[in-house]
Amino acid sequence: MRLLISLFCVAQLTMMGLERLSAQDSVSFGQHVAPILLEHCVACHCAKRAEGGYRLDTVEQLVKPGDGAASPIVAGKKDQSEWLVRIQHTDPQLRMPLDSEPLTKESVELLGKWIEQGAKLDGIPITDPLWAITPMKTYPQPPEHYRSNLPITALAFSSDGSQLFSSGYHEVLAWNPSDGALVARFANLPQRIYSVLPSADSNKIFVGGGTPGFLGEVRLLDKATGIVEKEVVRGPDVVLDLALRPGGQELAIAMADNTIRVLQLDNYLQKRVIASHADWVTQVAYSEDGKRLGSSSRDKSAKVTDADTGELLGSYPGHASAVRGIACIQEGKQWISVGADNKVHRWELENVKKVSEVALGGEPNRLAKDSSSVWIPNADKHWYRFDLASNAISTKQAGHDDWVTAVAVHVATGKLATGSLDGSIRVWNLADAALIKTWVGKP
């Protein structure tokens, strides 16, 4: 059903584009052609997976022949342009995209018109990736009511604790954490939401997510109006986590393209890219003083960099497996990390020395932290409280019927929220782990 909704909306957008174009109008590569290729073709024809020897992820690659040596694009001659021929092929074994719905008639006509007009590139550098040159997308409206539960992949409290934000389908949902009532829906967002982060003044909300394999985004929401003000970051794979630097002037962005992007918030310009990881960056966390930035990764490491320069200060290899979450303690002198070895590791940055490790009952996910505790969602259907003073698990709380996938804490109101793979949300009392409210996180 979700695929059908997505394809329907793409078709509608393409038809609207055609209605605005007369026979004499020029077809824009960036505005019209690139979005179609990005939506339907790049996942199978990119640097990581070049089916048939064809790559369509950059303009430069788009014009290179594949294994069959046929020219993908012959300017002015759509019938000799191999990729357009394959898109229109009547044989389902030869037609592209393979094992997926064919492109709409309107999309095919638009691509053909672009070739007939000379396959112009609008002055776009040939090395630019398609994800970087397409306009900001208007996403489809979420369904009024979900037909099935969605995993909760992101949770966050508003700064005053009066609302709890959760991930939805092309939207973020806002709930009253005391009674589970749905109070707001924020739409025009990526299909999958992996991080929700209110701004320091709580007037804006940063939302990170995307579509796995071909587009990651951070969008900025105005909380009062629910309008997406801008797309502040874009990348070739999904955004997995967000962290505000203490002081609120920088945003660190963990991405599945193995990088950390650091954004300057006064002008929304990219300040630096940290590329020290070799696999997905799963979580980012600043030290309390804002001087250091920690990151966890599927590359089996947790790293700490200088927040001002991006210089690597230390890399902890102790998990020997994918690292799922990280949190800072003692102003960056020590760090807590959790990984697929099903353990909590506490380690010192100086000499990258392990202090302790504690076993968990299953695989953990991204962490939440307050001044005395680290809170751990776990695949064993429990959440854990790791007490920093005793260096031990002080609470192992059951209550979900599936993996606990997300956790958020709000100290001032004394509440902890957890989300699960089955779509359920629970709110707990921080003091005694008593369950306050439970509901399914869908409209």
The four Cα atoms 3, 234, 13, 51 give a dihedral, to 10 degrees, of -60
Instruction: Give CA–CA dist 178/426, Å, rounded.
Output: 10
Total residues found in the chain within this entry: 443
293 in a structural domain? yes
Res 16: pLDDT: 35
The confidence score (pLDDT) of residue 408 equals: 98
Task: Report the amino acid identity of residue 429.
Answer: N
* 375: amino acid identity, one letter: W
Do 163 and 289 fall within a single domain? yes
Tens of pLDDT, residues 133-158: 788 889 999 999 999 999 999 999 99
What's residue 24's pLDDT?
57
Please indicate, yes or no, whether residues 336 and 260 belong to a single structural domain of this protein.
yes
Residues 190 and 307 in one domain: yes
Whether residue 338 has pLDDT greater than 80 = yes
Same domain flag for 229 and 114: no
Rounded to whole angstroms, how far apart are CA atoms 250 and 309? 13
Among 300, 286, 194, 299, smallest CA distance to 240 is for 194
On whether residue 143 sits in a domain, the answer given is no
Higher pLDDT, 360 or 128: 360
Amino acid 176: pLDDT: 98
Interior angle at CA 227, CA 221 and CA 231, nearest 5: 50
Q: What is the pLDDT of residue 2?
A: 29
Q: Is residue 403 part of a domain?
A: yes
pLDDT for residue 63 is more than 80 = no
On whether both 27 and 125 belong to a single domain, the answer is yes
Determine the average pLDDT of the residues in 99-119. 86
Tell me if 148 is assigned to some domain: no
d(CA 242, CA 334): 21
CA proximity to 271, closest of 297, 220, 232 = 232
Q: Considering the chain, what is the average pLDDT of its residues?
A: 89
Q: For 98, what's the count of Cα atoms within 13 Å in the CB-facing half-sphere?
A: 8
**Which residues have a Cβ under 8 Å from the Cβ of 93 and sit 6 or more positions away?**
none
Q: Kindly state whether residue 141 falls inside one of the protein's structural domains.
A: no
pLDDT of residue 94: 77
Instruction: Place 275 in a pLDDT band, splitting at 50, 70 and 90.
Output: very high
The lowest-confidence range among 89-103, 107-121, 308-322 is: 89-103
pLDDT at 317 over 80: yes
Residue 111 lies in a domain: yes
Nearest to 354 by CA among 331, 377, 371, 337: 337
C-alpha to C-alpha distances, 20 to 16, 27, 28, 181, nearest whole angstrom: 7, 11, 12, 42
CB 337 within 8 A of CB 356: no
CA distances from 126 to 56, 80, 122, 215, 273 (A): 12, 22, 10, 19, 22
pLDDT band for position 12 (cuts 50, 70, 90)? very low
Q: What mean pLDDT is predicted for residues 30-47?
A: 79
Percent of the chain with pLDDT over 90: 66
In a domain, 146, yes or no: no
Q: Which residue has the higher pLDDT, 16 or 118?
A: 118
Q: How many domains does the chain have?
A: 2
Residues 170, 36, single domain; the answer is no
Same domain flag for 90 and 223: no
The yes-or-no verdict on residue 326 having pLDDT over 70 is yes
The reply to whether 182 and 239 lie within a common domain is yes
| pLDDT recorded at residue 60 | 79
Compute the distance between CA of residue 318 and CA of residue 294 in angstroms, rounded to an integer: 15
What is the per-residue pLDDT across 191-210, written as a single tens digit (0 to 9) for each?
Answer: 999 999 999 888 999 999 99
Q: What is the CATH number of the domain that holds 274?
A: 2.130.10.10
12 and 124, same domain (yes or no): yes
Both 235 and 302 in one domain: the answer is: yes
pLDDT of 18 reads 39
The verdict on residue 145 lying in a domain is: no
Q: Phi/psi at 187 (nearest 5 deg)? A: -105, -165
**pLDDT single digits (tens) 404-442:** 999 999 999 999 999 999 999 999 999 999 999 999 999
**What is the distance between the alpha carbons of residues 165 and 277, in angstroms, rounded to a whole number?**
29
Statement to judge: residues 434 and 285 lie in one domain: yes
pTM (2 decimals)?
0.83
The rounded distance, in Å, linking the Cα atoms of 133 and 87 is 22
What is the extent of the structural domain holding 417? Answer: 155-440
Of 406, 347, 346, 341, whose CA–CA distance to 378 is shortest? Answer: 406
Spatial separation of the C-alpha atoms in residues 332 and 293, rounded to whole Å: 8
pLDDT tens digit string along 65-102?
777 777 888 888 888 888 888 888 888 877 888 777 88
Residue that has been written with the tokens 């995209």 in this structure = 97
Please check whether residues 116 and 162 belong to one and the same domain. Answer: no
Asked if 100 and 42 count as a contact pair (C-beta separation under 8 A), the reply is no
* Segment 212-223 mean pLDDT: 92
Residue 6: pLDDT over 80 = no
- Secondary structure, 3-state, the chain: CHHHHHHHHHHHHHHHHHHCCCCCCCCCHHHHHHHHHHHHCCCCECCCCEHHHCCCCEHHHHCCCCCCCCCCCCCCCHHHCHHHHHHHCCCCCCCCCCCCCCCCHHHHHHHHHHHHCCCCCCCCCCCCEHHHHCCCCCCCCCCCCCCCCCCCCCEEECCCCCCEEEECCCCEEEECCCCCCEEEEECCCCCEEEEEEECCCCCEEEEEEEECCCEEEEEEEECCCCCEEEEEEEECCCEEEEEECCCCCEEEEEECCCCEEEEECCCCEEEEEECCCCCCEEEEEECCCCCEEEEEECCCCEEEEECCCCCEEEEECCCCCCEEEEEEEHHHCEEEEEECCCEEEEEECHHHEEEEEEECCCCECCCEECCCEEEEEECCCCEEEEECCCCEEEEEECCCCCCEEEEEEECCCCEEEEEECCCEEEEEECCCCCEEEEEECCC
Residue 245 in this model has a pLDDT that exceeds 80: yes
In contact, 155 and 163? CB cutoff 8 Å: no
